[in-house]
Amino acid sequence: MMDEVIEAFQRKDYKTAARLLKQLAKDEPNNPWVQLYIARLHEVRQKLSEAETVYRQLLQNTTSPKIISQARQGLKRLETIEKEQRQQALSQATADPNSNQFGILILEAIDAQNKSNAAQTLAKIMQLDPYTARLQIPTRGWRLYRTGPVGELKFYALSLQKGLIPCFWVTLADIQNLNVFKVNYFDEFNARNTTIVCQNHQNQTGSLTFNWSEVSQCVEGRLPIFEQVVDLDARQKLQRKTQTLDYIQFFDLHLPNRKSILRLNDLQYQFQQGIRLSPQVESSQNGSIKKPVFSQATNRINWNSLRAFLNCQLPQIPIWSDFTSFGETAIDYKEMLSRLPSHIDLFRREHTPWDSAFQLYSGLAFLKKPQQHCFTPTTLK
């Protein structure tokens, strides 16, 4: 019957070959020739994954030189087919003129127990060796994985998602187009609305009123402050080096309906202005909140009071807080980050990519889930 299978393949009569192989698989399930032609049948039917599995099993379990040779030839054919299909799909994905926009591909965290399988999938799709692929799979937070034309990144992302590797892509322009307002202080407050005094990207100061229900999520992170210090090296000689002197706390509120981010930080928030945030609140006779001069509390206590105030108004809001681990993967993309305004105005002796990395992280969180509404611009009064 095996001769009939071979003849059917020579005639390209795969329907007959399939019928014969089905019977042979029952009668001689361990016959390597039967398995070889089952793999070939998968191959001609474009079931490439099934064909690859059988070919590799033959290489592991068979000692026949002829079987091994044909199994290797089969794997080479599969590799060629996959490359051709990949190139064709990539060409289609990049045919749209909009596909040339600059984009960013982000890998999301995956469970440690699934890392091995994910690494094999990543290696196959991105044409890497398995060891390198395993190092690139994040198990916590996000990893900035690749930048380039968004059409190409979308093609890779869809392939990765199909292989159960969570990821997403955005265009840099989408992040650049977000409005960012630097909050000076909360000026007025009630149970529904609050008014802030803030600055826009042109450093124009004005007021903005919003409803707490507009806030969909928050982002927090620490940005380092660097300083040049003099220290002794191993040979007891003086040397200058850059050292992290301190960290500035940042906290973003996302208003998706307005396509806007309200940004606070503990260095520039004017705690002496606006509503009182400390526990010792004195009310006026009509019950409204005064605008007192702040007591001489430490910056940490003031910031904690502000955070407690925000937590009280937004008790169920998601908070993205893995900026540091993401930033460590992002700061190597200095050229890309240089194209992204940070909307962070800290006094620095030297430029650092960390500021734009935080803007990128907050922007990615903003765009992560498609918003089901039209954006309306926010303007200062």
- Per-residue H/E/C for the chain: CHHHHHHHHHCCCHHHHHHHHHHHHHHCCCCHHHHHHHHHHHHHCCCHHHHHHHHHHHHHHCCCHHHHHHHHHHHHHHHHHHHHHHHHHHHHHCCCHHHHCEEEEEECCCCHHHHHHHHHHHHHHHCCCHHHHHHHCCCCCCEEEEEEEHHHHHHHHHHHHHCCCCEEEEEHHHHHCCEEEEEEEEEEECCCEEEEEEECCCCCEEEEEEEHHHCCEEEEEEEEEEEEEEEECCCCCEEEEEEEEEEEEEEEEEEHHHCEEEEEECCCCCCCCCCCCCCCCCECCCCCECCCCCCCCCHHHHHHHHHHHHHHHCCCCCEECCHHHHHHHHCCCHHHHHCCCCCCCCCCCCCCCHHHHHHHHHHHHHHCCCCCCCCCCCCCC
Give the pLDDT of residue 379: 62
Give the pLDDT of residue 231: 66
* Stretch among 11-20, 184-193, 237-246, 320-329 having the lowest mean pLDDT: 237-246
Residue 232 — very low, low, confident or very high, per pLDDT cuts 50/70/90? low
Residue 291 has pLDDT above 50, yes or no: no
Q: For residue 122, how many other CB atoms are within 10 A of its CB?
A: 27
Distances (CA, A) of 352 to 102, 320, 334, 335, 363: 22, 22, 9, 12, 18
Give tens-digit pLDDT for 128-173: 998 999 999 999 999 999 999 999 999 999 999 999 999 999 999 9
Domains contained in the chain, CATH given: 2-93 (1.25.40.10), 97-174 (3.30.1390.10), 178-367 (no CATH)
Please state, rounded to an integer, the average pLDDT across all residues of the chain. Answer: 86
User: Are residues 251 and 220 in contact, defined by beta-carbon separation less than 8 angstroms?
Assistant: yes
Residue 290 has pLDDT above 80, yes or no: no
pLDDT over 90 percentage in the chain = 50
Rounded distance, CA 213 to CA 194, Å?
11
